[in-house]
Structure 1
Amino acid sequence: MSDIASGALVMVDSLLQRLWPRIEARILSGVIVEGHGDLRPEHVCLCQPPQIIDCLEFNRSMRIIDPYDEVNYLGLECEMLGAPWIRPLLVEALQNRLPDRPNADLLALYGGFRALLRARLCVAHLLDKPVRHPEKWRPLAIRYIRQTEREILSVRSPSIRKSTPVYGDA
């Protein structure tokens, strides 16, 4: 798996290096907020009004985030579950409320970074003693690594993310 992951890691690192000045500019302009920090579909209750649960309470610094990173990540997780149409709606809804939408490059970096982080967390489960559900974690890590690649490559060709199915690929 390391051969698969190393390419994705290089891609994310390269884009991060290139876009770091934009990230710093967003921080300095005050668009960063204290958010959830780990917003995934299972943290959203679609009642009236909708409720967000289970934020990263143990570490405030992990909740300091670009709101576009937060909703882009939620959309990425929805995409991984087979609902790719949700992400653009979330980003557009946020754009209607907040200015300073990042460009496609930065959104791709946010998505690639988050997908790579999720792959790393899957691999960490394989180090647990005992490993619970060992058959689950390796294929899921590979799916997230492939999603990382799609996210980063979408900067060069936006049709890559849209044309490549995610749900169930292994």
Structure 2
Amino acid sequence: MTEPASSPTSALEPWPETVEWRPVSRDLIWVELIHLASLMIFVLVGLGVFWALTSHWLFGLGLAAAVVLAVWRVIVIFRAVRAWGYAERDNDLLVRHGLLVRRLSIVPYARMQFVDVTAGPLERAFGLATVQLHTAAAATDARVPGLRPEEASRLRDRLTALGEDRAEGL
């Protein structure tokens, strides 16, 4: 892919529209919802047991608050997964995510030290993997979750090859 002609962009709009963004798989929504459900089971059961044993109104209030927060988090998960994206350019990889606080990570290929592809049991069940890019500065590391294994392997191989090519020129 070639880089488009540089045009001034606002620092307040961190997701340049001149870049061709690639989305992550929507199956990542299911992975995140299952993570949330497993956490909420423990929270709700714990609060419910304490409320049943003590009959204290604070446990009932905590139970209601946990349900409201879980519903809010479900809505956020749908929107947050749609916010993830990445773009490959000639000299760097762009990774975007975030709703309230938008984050754009720009990782130059020459700065990459290594690239990981991981897939936990739940990700594997949905046919997903995560590509993690590591640089010398931990703050500039980036990850792209929710990729199909073929795309994750392709991206890993491409980033590794480009990183080696660019590092030779240093």
Does TM, scored on the shorter chain, surpass 0.5?
no
| Higher strand proportion (structure 1 or 2) | 2
Structure index of larger Rg = 2
Which structure: greater helix fraction? 1
Into which bin does the TM-score normalised by the smaller protein fall? under 0.3
